[in-house]
Structure 1
């Protein structure tokens, strides 16, 4: 979903991508992310029902950053956990190709190209995700990542002119977020999976989350042997 200058209507579109991570510590992973997608939006001015302008943008986004897994940090590595949330932080580059069109409310030919902009915009991304483990290799993954671009031309709308010909600058930088659902495959187990420090820590803290049994274990009594006496 896109947040910028042309966002009154129709600001959701598609995105496809792939991400790879490599373990750095027991709770922090290095991450690279590559996405291809499309943005769009429609602007309707206040007091009007007709679109003033629309835009379309196909983009490629490349990000480098890290993921932080709070449960692994708090409880240690514990393979019996069925889900694992994580936080995402990335530096990103966005290669964009945006086209802005006049709408019927602009007093110009409807559908006529107004502006075309392309380039590479830097930005930062933050988000969160969740892994639900189907087995020890495959998990279902859901992520929501927001990106703030240091650029105001992802919608090709950095400025506009009024009927008198005066040029006005638009507000701030563009922002968008992406929600994805996918599959994660684990190629190799954690290098800390057999570490006594993390497994013991996980066991002790996770054990406290379960109800204690009311039954106490009793050691079985020794069987007494009968003795025979000779006369």
Structure 2
């Protein structure tokens, strides 16, 4: 199946490509809505994964435009956004989107959406070494993170929330000097795209620290 990844953030496109390429999808990328329009007009795609907020033509405008092109083959289209507002999901669906994914994109949510939209069924393995979820069970992550300095935790939280791969790697390189097992553990979580539980734990620790300081 051919999938067009539309996002002005190169890191987000790389993360999605890293998840989808090993599964055999044929991927193409557009750095914005205008580029996506040209590609959609020239080629047929099975699926479009588009960010909502982009500087030129945003995902909602791209959806409206695509659905108005009655001469074009109509792919399935999923809007991605960091917003958690239900009304935005309904607005995207009303514009003609087939689905809605919240950022940071989690692996299982993405796979479930692909199965639903494209009629696919992925084979999943459970309980194997390296399987999804194992990094979170390897050791007491909360305790290990609690031993980091507040500044390191904050830097890590900001880089993971921003899906900034390069910045996360820099922060983890610093963590590895004092806590190599923790750094390896977090690296494993990022490779499995387990951003949300990591962010939630870091945010919780930040709140506890602020409460203690107060």
TM interval, shorter chain, is: under 0.3
TM-score by length of 2: 0.22
Higher strand share: 1
Larger Rg belongs to: 1
1 or 2, which has the higher helix percentage? Answer: 2
TM-score norm. by structure 1 comes to 0.21
Which structure would you say has the larger RCO, counting Cα contacts within 8 Å and 6 or more residues apart?
Answer: 1
